[in-house]
Amino acid sequence: LQAAEGEFDVDDHRAQMDKERSRNEIAKRVLGNGIELLSEHASEGCAVALETSSTLLKTGKADAAELALQSLVYLFDPEHSGYGTATVAATTFLSGDTKPEIRDAVLSLLLCGCLVDGDCGNEPHRHLEDHPYMGSLQSLCLAVLAKAVSTLATSSSIGETQDLPSSIINSFLVHARDKFGKDLLRVLLDKLGNTQENIHDACLAAQCLRSLCDTSGEARHAIREAGAEEVTTSARGWGERYSTRLEGASEQLFSAVVVVTQR
Protein backbone atom coordinates (compact mmCIF):
# COMPACT_ATOMS: atom_id res chain seq x y z
CA LEU A 1 0.00 0.00 0.00
CA GLN A 2 2.83 2.39 0.82
CA ALA A 3 4.51 1.52 -2.47
CA ALA A 4 1.32 2.26 -4.39
CA GLU A 5 1.07 5.63 -2.69
CA GLY A 6 4.70 6.41 -3.39
CA GLU A 7 5.60 6.45 0.32
CA PHE A 8 7.59 3.21 0.53
CA ASP A 9 11.18 3.80 1.64
CA VAL A 10 13.38 0.89 0.53
CA ASP A 11 16.32 1.89 2.71
CA ASP A 12 14.14 2.27 5.78
CA HIS A 13 12.52 -1.10 5.10
CA ARG A 14 15.92 -2.77 4.80
CA ALA A 15 17.07 -1.11 8.01
CA GLN A 16 14.00 -2.42 9.84
CA MET A 17 14.55 -5.93 8.47
CA ASP A 18 18.22 -5.84 9.52
CA LYS A 19 17.22 -4.70 13.00
CA GLU A 20 14.70 -7.55 13.33
CA ARG A 21 17.26 -10.11 12.14
CA SER A 22 19.66 -8.74 14.74
CA ARG A 23 17.02 -9.14 17.46
CA ASN A 24 16.35 -12.71 16.37
CA GLU A 25 20.02 -13.64 16.52
CA ILE A 26 20.36 -12.10 19.97
CA ALA A 27 17.29 -14.03 21.17
CA LYS A 28 18.82 -17.25 19.86
CA ARG A 29 22.02 -16.62 21.80
CA VAL A 30 20.06 -15.73 24.94
CA LEU A 31 18.10 -18.99 24.80
CA GLY A 32 20.89 -21.18 23.46
CA ASN A 33 23.69 -20.06 25.73
CA GLY A 34 21.89 -18.52 28.69
CA ILE A 35 23.64 -15.16 28.42
CA GLU A 36 22.32 -12.21 30.38
CA LEU A 37 19.72 -9.97 28.77
CA LEU A 38 22.05 -7.03 28.38
CA SER A 39 22.15 -6.55 24.62
CA GLU A 40 21.24 -3.02 23.62
CA HIS A 41 19.41 -4.11 20.48
CA ALA A 42 17.33 -6.86 22.07
CA SER A 43 16.43 -5.18 25.33
CA GLU A 44 16.02 -1.52 24.43
CA GLY A 45 12.41 -1.73 23.23
CA CYS A 46 11.14 -4.22 25.79
CA ALA A 47 12.92 -2.39 28.63
CA VAL A 48 10.92 0.75 27.90
CA ALA A 49 7.69 -1.24 27.60
CA LEU A 50 8.31 -3.11 30.85
CA GLU A 51 9.18 0.12 32.65
CA THR A 52 5.94 1.69 31.45
CA SER A 53 3.89 -1.33 32.53
CA SER A 54 5.59 -1.35 35.92
CA THR A 55 4.80 2.32 36.46
CA LEU A 56 1.14 1.80 35.57
CA LEU A 57 0.80 -1.20 37.87
CA LYS A 58 2.36 0.68 40.78
CA THR A 59 -0.44 3.24 40.74
CA GLY A 60 -2.72 0.62 42.30
CA LYS A 61 -5.57 1.74 40.05
CA ALA A 62 -7.63 -0.77 38.11
CA ASP A 63 -7.82 1.19 34.85
CA ALA A 64 -4.06 1.72 34.82
CA ALA A 65 -3.52 -1.98 35.53
CA GLU A 66 -5.82 -2.87 32.64
CA LEU A 67 -3.77 -0.73 30.26
CA ALA A 68 -0.52 -2.24 31.56
CA LEU A 69 -1.76 -5.80 31.09
CA GLN A 70 -3.03 -5.09 27.58
CA SER A 71 0.39 -3.68 26.72
CA LEU A 72 2.08 -6.83 28.03
CA VAL A 73 -0.13 -9.05 25.87
CA TYR A 74 1.06 -7.16 22.79
CA LEU A 75 4.67 -7.09 23.98
CA PHE A 76 4.80 -10.88 24.38
CA ASP A 77 3.17 -11.48 20.99
CA PRO A 78 5.78 -12.06 18.23
CA GLU A 79 3.31 -10.90 15.57
CA HIS A 80 3.10 -7.47 17.19
CA SER A 81 6.52 -6.81 18.71
CA GLY A 82 8.73 -9.09 16.60
CA TYR A 83 10.04 -12.52 17.48
CA GLY A 84 13.25 -11.40 19.14
CA THR A 85 11.69 -8.70 21.30
CA ALA A 86 8.75 -10.90 22.30
CA THR A 87 11.05 -13.77 23.28
CA VAL A 88 13.35 -11.59 25.37
CA ALA A 89 10.38 -9.84 27.01
CA ALA A 90 8.58 -13.10 27.84
CA THR A 91 11.77 -14.62 29.23
CA THR A 92 12.44 -11.53 31.33
CA PHE A 93 8.88 -11.49 32.68
CA LEU A 94 8.74 -15.18 33.61
CA SER A 95 12.20 -15.24 35.17
CA GLY A 96 11.65 -12.03 37.13
CA ASP A 97 15.26 -11.00 36.56
CA THR A 98 14.16 -7.50 35.57
CA LYS A 99 11.10 -5.71 36.95
CA PRO A 100 10.00 -8.68 39.11
CA GLU A 101 7.12 -6.56 40.40
CA ILE A 102 5.38 -7.06 37.04
CA ARG A 103 5.46 -10.83 37.41
CA ASP A 104 4.21 -10.54 40.98
CA ALA A 105 1.42 -8.15 40.04
CA VAL A 106 0.12 -10.57 37.40
CA LEU A 107 0.32 -13.52 39.78
CA SER A 108 -1.24 -11.54 42.63
CA LEU A 109 -4.22 -10.48 40.53
CA LEU A 110 -4.72 -13.97 39.18
CA LEU A 111 -4.21 -15.89 42.42
CA CYS A 112 -5.37 -13.48 45.13
CA GLY A 113 -7.48 -10.78 43.54
CA CYS A 114 -5.01 -8.17 44.74
CA LEU A 115 -2.91 -5.66 42.84
CA VAL A 116 0.88 -5.53 43.23
CA ASP A 117 1.23 -7.57 46.43
CA GLY A 118 -0.38 -10.86 47.41
CA ASP A 119 -0.76 -9.65 51.01
CA CYS A 120 -3.22 -6.77 50.79
CA GLY A 121 -3.86 -6.45 54.50
CA ASN A 122 -1.75 -3.32 54.78
CA GLU A 123 -2.93 -1.83 51.50
CA PRO A 124 -6.72 -2.20 51.30
CA HIS A 125 -7.00 0.26 48.40
CA ARG A 126 -5.25 -2.29 46.23
CA HIS A 127 -7.63 -5.12 47.04
CA LEU A 128 -9.75 -5.54 43.92
CA GLU A 129 -11.53 -8.83 44.61
CA ASP A 130 -14.97 -7.18 44.56
CA HIS A 131 -14.05 -4.47 42.06
CA PRO A 132 -16.10 -4.44 38.81
CA TYR A 133 -12.81 -4.52 36.90
CA MET A 134 -11.67 -7.74 38.56
CA GLY A 135 -13.08 -10.17 36.01
CA SER A 136 -11.54 -8.20 33.17
CA LEU A 137 -8.19 -7.91 34.94
CA GLN A 138 -7.98 -11.62 35.68
CA SER A 139 -8.85 -12.42 32.07
CA LEU A 140 -6.03 -10.13 30.97
CA CYS A 141 -3.66 -11.82 33.42
CA LEU A 142 -4.54 -15.16 31.83
CA ALA A 143 -3.88 -13.66 28.40
CA VAL A 144 -0.52 -12.25 29.54
CA LEU A 145 0.52 -15.58 31.02
CA ALA A 146 -0.71 -17.60 28.05
CA LYS A 147 1.13 -15.38 25.58
CA ALA A 148 4.37 -15.32 27.58
CA VAL A 149 4.49 -19.09 28.11
CA SER A 150 3.49 -19.76 24.50
CA THR A 151 6.29 -17.55 23.22
CA LEU A 152 8.78 -19.27 25.53
CA ALA A 153 7.51 -22.69 24.46
CA THR A 154 7.97 -21.79 20.79
CA SER A 155 11.48 -20.59 21.49
CA SER A 156 12.45 -23.77 23.34
CA SER A 157 13.45 -25.39 20.06
CA ILE A 158 16.12 -22.75 19.46
CA GLY A 159 19.74 -23.49 20.33
CA GLU A 160 21.48 -26.64 21.43
CA THR A 161 20.16 -26.76 24.98
CA GLN A 162 16.54 -27.24 26.05
CA ASP A 163 17.24 -26.65 29.74
CA LEU A 164 16.81 -22.90 29.98
CA PRO A 165 13.08 -22.56 29.09
CA SER A 166 12.19 -25.54 31.30
CA SER A 167 14.17 -24.10 34.19
CA ILE A 168 12.46 -20.72 33.81
CA ILE A 169 9.00 -22.31 33.93
CA ASN A 170 9.83 -24.54 36.89
CA SER A 171 11.21 -21.59 38.86
CA PHE A 172 8.18 -19.49 37.93
CA LEU A 173 5.77 -22.09 39.29
CA VAL A 174 7.78 -22.51 42.50
CA HIS A 175 7.87 -18.74 42.98
CA ALA A 176 4.09 -18.48 42.55
CA ARG A 177 3.51 -21.17 45.18
CA ASP A 178 6.08 -19.85 47.66
CA LYS A 179 5.07 -16.19 47.48
CA PHE A 180 1.30 -16.49 47.20
CA GLY A 181 0.63 -19.88 48.80
CA LYS A 182 -1.36 -21.19 45.84
CA ASP A 183 -0.72 -23.73 43.11
CA LEU A 184 -0.93 -21.89 39.80
CA LEU A 185 -1.51 -25.11 37.87
CA ARG A 186 -4.57 -25.97 39.95
CA VAL A 187 -5.89 -22.44 39.57
CA LEU A 188 -5.58 -22.77 35.79
CA LEU A 189 -7.32 -26.14 35.87
CA ASP A 190 -10.11 -24.60 37.95
CA LYS A 191 -10.50 -21.91 35.27
CA LEU A 192 -10.73 -24.62 32.64
CA GLY A 193 -13.20 -26.55 34.76
CA ASN A 194 -15.46 -23.49 35.10
CA THR A 195 -16.13 -23.43 31.37
CA GLN A 196 -19.83 -22.70 31.81
CA GLU A 197 -19.03 -19.49 33.69
CA ASN A 198 -16.42 -18.09 31.30
CA ILE A 199 -15.51 -19.81 28.04
CA HIS A 200 -12.95 -17.13 27.18
CA ASP A 201 -10.99 -17.68 30.40
CA ALA A 202 -11.27 -21.45 29.97
CA CYS A 203 -9.71 -21.20 26.52
CA LEU A 204 -6.85 -19.06 27.83
CA ALA A 205 -6.27 -21.47 30.71
CA ALA A 206 -6.16 -24.42 28.30
CA GLN A 207 -3.70 -22.61 26.05
CA CYS A 208 -1.49 -21.72 29.00
CA LEU A 209 -1.53 -25.28 30.39
CA ARG A 210 -0.72 -26.71 26.98
CA SER A 211 2.29 -24.37 26.59
CA LEU A 212 3.46 -25.27 30.10
CA CYS A 213 3.31 -28.94 29.10
CA ASP A 214 5.31 -28.23 25.95
CA THR A 215 7.98 -26.31 27.83
CA SER A 216 8.50 -28.34 31.00
CA GLY A 217 8.23 -32.07 31.58
CA GLU A 218 8.00 -31.41 35.30
CA ALA A 219 5.04 -29.07 34.78
CA ARG A 220 3.42 -31.58 32.43
CA HIS A 221 3.63 -34.29 35.07
CA ALA A 222 2.21 -31.99 37.75
CA ILE A 223 -0.67 -30.98 35.47
CA ARG A 224 -1.54 -34.60 34.83
CA GLU A 225 -1.34 -35.47 38.53
CA ALA A 226 -3.70 -32.59 39.30
CA GLY A 227 -6.45 -34.27 37.28
CA ALA A 228 -6.01 -32.56 33.92
CA GLU A 229 -7.31 -35.46 31.84
CA GLU A 230 -10.73 -35.45 33.50
CA VAL A 231 -11.04 -31.66 33.46
CA THR A 232 -9.89 -31.44 29.85
CA THR A 233 -12.27 -34.17 28.71
CA SER A 234 -15.19 -32.32 30.29
CA ALA A 235 -14.13 -29.00 28.75
CA ARG A 236 -13.71 -30.61 25.35
CA GLY A 237 -17.25 -32.00 25.56
CA TRP A 238 -18.57 -28.55 26.37
CA GLY A 239 -16.56 -27.12 23.49
CA GLU A 240 -18.01 -29.65 21.05
CA ARG A 241 -21.45 -28.30 21.85
CA TYR A 242 -20.83 -24.59 22.20
CA SER A 243 -17.34 -23.37 21.25
CA THR A 244 -15.00 -24.39 18.44
CA ARG A 245 -12.18 -22.44 20.05
CA LEU A 246 -12.56 -24.23 23.38
CA GLU A 247 -12.85 -27.57 21.63
CA GLY A 248 -9.56 -27.00 19.80
CA ALA A 249 -7.72 -25.70 22.88
CA SER A 250 -8.95 -28.63 24.97
CA GLU A 251 -7.95 -31.18 22.34
CA GLN A 252 -4.44 -29.73 22.18
CA LEU A 253 -4.11 -29.81 25.96
CA PHE A 254 -5.46 -33.36 26.11
CA SER A 255 -2.85 -34.48 23.57
CA ALA A 256 -0.09 -32.78 25.56
CA VAL A 257 -1.23 -34.45 28.79
CA VAL A 258 -1.58 -37.89 27.19
CA VAL A 259 2.08 -37.72 26.17
CA VAL A 260 2.92 -38.10 29.86
CA THR A 261 1.00 -41.34 30.19
CA GLN A 262 2.87 -42.79 27.23
CA ARG A 263 6.36 -41.99 28.51
pLDDT at 31: 34
Q: pLDDT by residue (tens digit) across 196-239?
A: 889 999 999 999 999 999 999 999 999 999 999 999 999 999 99
Cβ contact 45:74 at 8 Å: no
**DSSP for 39-106, written as a single string:** -HHHHHHHHHHHHHHHHHHHT--HHHHHHHHHHHHHHT-HHHH-HHHHHHHHHHHHHTSS-HHHHHHH
Beta bridge partners of 127: 114
* Cα–Cα distance, 170 to 118 (Å, whole number): 20
Per-residue confidence in pLDDT tens, the chain, 263 aa:
444 444 545 565 566 556 545 544 443 443 333 333 334 455 666 788 888 899 999 888 888 899 999 999 999 999 988 888 899 899 999 999 888 999 999 999 999 888 754 444 444 445 555 566 678 899 999 999 999 999 999 886 554 334 589 999 999 999 999 999 999 999 999 999 999 889 999 999 999 999 999 999 999 999 999 999 999 999 999 999 999 999 999 999 999 997 555 54
* Cα–Cα distance, 188 to 228 (Å, whole number): 10
pLDDT at 255: 92
Which one-letter DSSP state was computed for residue 162?
-
Residue 92: closest CA among 129, 46, 131, 150? 46
In this structure, which long-range contacts are made by residues 122-131, counting pairs with CB atoms below 8 Å and at least 24 apart in sequence?
123/60, 125/60, 126/60, 128/62, 131/62
Q: Across the chain, which distance is largest between two alpha carbons, in Å?
A: 60
What is the number of other CB atoms lying within 10 angstroms of the CB of residue 124? 8
pLDDT at 115: 75
Which one-letter DSSP state was computed for residue 161?
-
Q: Quick one: what percent of the chain has pLDDT higher than 90?
A: 54
* Cα–Cα distance, 114 to 47 (Å, whole number): 25
Which one-letter DSSP state was computed for residue 118?
S
pLDDT at 243: 92
Which one-letter DSSP state was computed for residue 230?
H
